[in-house]
Structure 1
Amino acid sequence: MRIQVPVSKPSDHTHPPLTALGWSSFFADQVGRDETGLTPLRIATVHRSRLTAEGASGPVKVNLPAASKTTDFAVGDWVLSDPKTLMFVRCLDRRALLQRKTEGAHLPQLIAANVDTLFIVTSCNDDFNAARLERYLALANEAGTDPVIVLTKADQADDTAPFVDQAAALQRGLPVVTLNAKATQAADTLAPWCGPGQTVALVGSSGVGKSTLLNTLANKTGEDVQATGGIREDDAKGRHTTTARSLHTTQAGGCVIDTPGIRTLHVSDLAVGLDILFAEITELAPECKFRDCTHAHEPGCAVQAGVAAGDVAPERLERWRKLAEENRDNTPTTTGPRGNKKPQGRRKRR
């Protein structure tokens, strides 16, 4: 067996303590008495055949037993490893997990683990899409991660107020910030969520400035700078410059997880996330005359009454209906005899 050793670093480099990487009593309490000699590591990258991690001594490569699969790990996971061989021993329970359904896959794709705040990044241009942002919000809500809408390219917009107003209306109490991802002030704007021990993740379309924002938050220079790419002027679409998820330390003392641009975000297993997202509909629904009301045409529908009264925006109800239906179609249900049930996805009738 080949033993991996910690990646060498300059002698004057100070490695962040475990607490700065997000280690807390939640994870420490999971370590048994017979495991106190093991080394806690936080997964920094997940590749097809290997893992890298951050620890108290800096970045390392993690060795995996023959039966282990890298697809079982998410960037941000905390694992225990043998201090001499760096052989993986076990993964600690997660506080939060961001995952998404992908077309044709039986299992969801793991996006990031143990994330405190999800920065949903979009720009003050044609990339802004309320319906797409709602999908990210439902994802964050379901995971128990606090969402923040980050509007980039604010310096290129004549007026950012319309973008802020539209974003803030998507969910109650939703923080919305505007910034220029290239400016050093961007780190100050996002500092409340990036302090020591805090973990944020960046999600959004390609070309909105996620990699640029990562470079600013992590104060990356020289060879460490994350590659960035522009967008097409005619439709504000960008190209993928980030191809893998990765964890980095921020200059504010926390961690940031960068993710590739997501072209399609399917809704699945997000019932709670949708209820939080569409609270104005969720709260009215129990007052409907019929328990199985679709809020479309039934008499005594409290939600339709809310639309008539101006308390529910018609376009919000339409988007709720679309996402709720998609969630029902994509969420697996259990079938089969008791004790031998298996998941079976619902399919839309045509």
Structure 2
Amino acid sequence: MEKQDHHIPASLHALGWTTALQSQLGLEDAGLEPMRVSAVHRSKMTAVSVDGQAKLSLPAAMTTADFAVGDWVLADPHSYQLSRRLDRHSLLQRQTVGARQLQLIAANVDTVFIVTSCNDDFNPARLERYLALTNEAGTGAVIVLTKVDQTPDAAKFQREAAALQRGLPVVSINGKSQDAIAALAPWCGAGQTVALIGSSGVGKSTLLNTLAQKSKDEAQATGGIRADDAKGRHTTTSRSLHTIEGGAWVIDTPGMRTLHVSDLSAGLDELFAEITELAPDCRFRDCTHKHEPGCAVQSAVAAGTLDPARLARWSKLRDENEQNTPVVTGARGNKKMSVRGRRR
């Protein structure tokens, strides 16, 4: 956890302000107030400052699509006219079908809570996609298993989740219980920021209500899992910033039905470290680990030291990432971005 710098007012530090942000201020910023984006909608944006909430006015050259919840901006303290956005230390973003721009999910996040429930919603392949996204963003990740009170074997889910990535923290909770606050406290200290991501209906809104100690009138709406297929219903429809017990901030996000892999090479390498480390021992530098002779990865599968299911999921994600990641083509001065294949 980052220690508070004596040059940073306690009120700003409580919002997540850091020395790295402080160092970005110059003489030209005199008279402007640091504010943190708390909600982004199609045509409006709100932010929180040491004086409370404010609706921001954007210059003509900016749109709300340029900002993510959690961003730090500088604005006029009287008119709330936004001047500029400060550099982010982390950014969660994803590619969506048919969109030219990446969708910004959350900015300046320290830890991502990847929330899933102990029922049929638990899906290792989908969790790996979330982990690759989180790794690429440069944030820490914690798998949060909810609804442990509704399963006879929570330990089974705990083992499967922990095996997805080396050193991955996994916490099992009942999102309605006050015990969840203590279980997640190591990542929820004063000035820290966590983001909740996961599918619909896994308990993100319930967990937020518990962590934020929201009253009945303030609580985020919650929805259950459909009995026929264990799929969740959307209850959160936009991203928003909330303060929680311990002084941390939580960015709540809508459930994601699909998560396409694009431009996540480093994130995949970290996720599948056991494969990444074996690859240099393959006979061919461009080995696909599918059929080539002298493949160290296939040898590990044959020896029983590498799970073939993990290799199959790595291969699928790597191929999807290559197909979906834009590449630069064309002569100098006339370069264009294109994708190799069709997005899945």
TM-score bin (small chain) = over 0.9
What is the alpha-carbon distance in structure 2 between the residues aligned to residue 348 and residue 103 of structure 1? 10
| Correspondent of 1:68 among 51, 62, 67 | 62
What is the alpha-carbon distance in structure 1 between the residues aligned to residue 276 and residue 334 of structure 2? 34
State the SS of the aligned residue for 1:17.
helix
Percent pairwise identity: 67
State the SS of the aligned residue for 2:338.
strand
Alignment partner of 1:287 is 2:281? yes
Alignment partner of 1:230 is 2:224? yes
Partner of residue 165, structure 1: 159
What is the alpha-carbon distance in structure 2 between the residues aligned to residue 102 and residue 132 of structure 1? 16
How far residue 348 of structure 1 moved from its aligned partner, in angstroms, is 4.9
Give the partner amino acid of 2:201: G
**Can you list the C-alpha shifts for 1:197-244, whole angstroms capped at 9, x where unaligned?**
110000011110000001111111132110000111222111100000
| Correspondent of 1:137 among 131, 134, 139 | 131
Partner of residue 111, structure 2: 117
Partner of residue 302, structure 1: 296
Partner of residue 192, structure 1: 186
Structure 1: which 5+ residue stretches go unaligned?
Answer: 1-15
What is the alpha-carbon distance in structure 1 between the residues aligned to residue 191 and residue 333 of structure 2? 42
| Correspondent of 2:195 among 201, 214, 220 | 201
| Correspondent of 1:56 among 50, 53, 65 | 50
What is the alpha-carbon distance in structure 1 between the residues aligned to residue 176 and residue 22 of structure 2? 37
**Can you list the C-alpha shifts for 1:220-273, whole angstroms capped at 9, x where unaligned?**
113211000011122211110000000001111010000000000000010000
Partner of residue 332, structure 1: 326
Give the partner amino acid of 1:316: R
* Count of residues in correspondence between the two structures: 335
What is the alpha-carbon distance in structure 2 between the residues aligned to residue 86 and residue 340 of structure 1? 39
Tell me whether 292-301 or 269-278 shows the greater mean CA deviation. Answer: 292-301
Alignment partner of 1:147 is 2:141? yes
TM-score by length of 2: 0.96
What is the alpha-carbon distance in structure 1 between the residues aligned to residue 24 and residue 165 of structure 2? 35
What is the alpha-carbon distance in structure 1 between the residues aligned to residue 241 and residue 333 of structure 2? 40
Partner of residue 8, structure 1: none
**Can you list the C-alpha shifts for 1:12-36, whole angstroms capped at 9, x where unaligned?**
xxxx822111100111110111213
Partner of residue 244, structure 1: 238
Give the partner amino acid of 1:301: C
What is the alpha-carbon distance in structure 1 between the residues aligned to residue 190 and residue 302 of structure 2? 47
Partner of residue 45, structure 1: 39
Partner of residue 79, structure 1: 73
Tell me whether 262-271 or 61-70 shows the greater mean CA deviation. Answer: 61-70
Give the partner amino acid of 1:286: P
What is the alpha-carbon distance in structure 1 between the residues aligned to residue 12 and residue 88 of structure 2? 16
Give the partner amino acid of 2:293: P
Give the partner amino acid of 2:308: P
State the SS of the aligned residue for 1:131.
helix
State the SS of the aligned residue for 2:12.
coil
What is the alpha-carbon distance in structure 1 between the residues aligned to residue 52 and residue 334 of structure 2? 46
Give the partner amino acid of 1:48: R
Aligned-residue CA RMSD in angstroms?
A: 1.3
State the SS of the aligned residue for 1:18.
helix
How far residue 311 of structure 1 moved from its aligned partner, in angstroms, is 1.8
Alignment partner of 1:345 is 2:324? no
What is the alpha-carbon distance in structure 1 between the residues aligned to residue 89 and residue 110 of structure 2? 9
What is the alpha-carbon distance in structure 1 between the residues aligned to residue 98 and residue 80 of structure 2? 35
Give the partner amino acid of 2:120: D
What is the alpha-carbon distance in structure 1 between the residues aligned to residue 215 and residue 342 of structure 2? 50
Partner of residue 266, structure 1: 260
TM-score by length of 1: 0.94
**Can you list the C-alpha shifts for 1:134-165, whole angstroms capped at 9, x where unaligned?**
00000000000101000000011101111000
How far residue 341 of structure 1 moved from its aligned partner, in angstroms, is 1.4
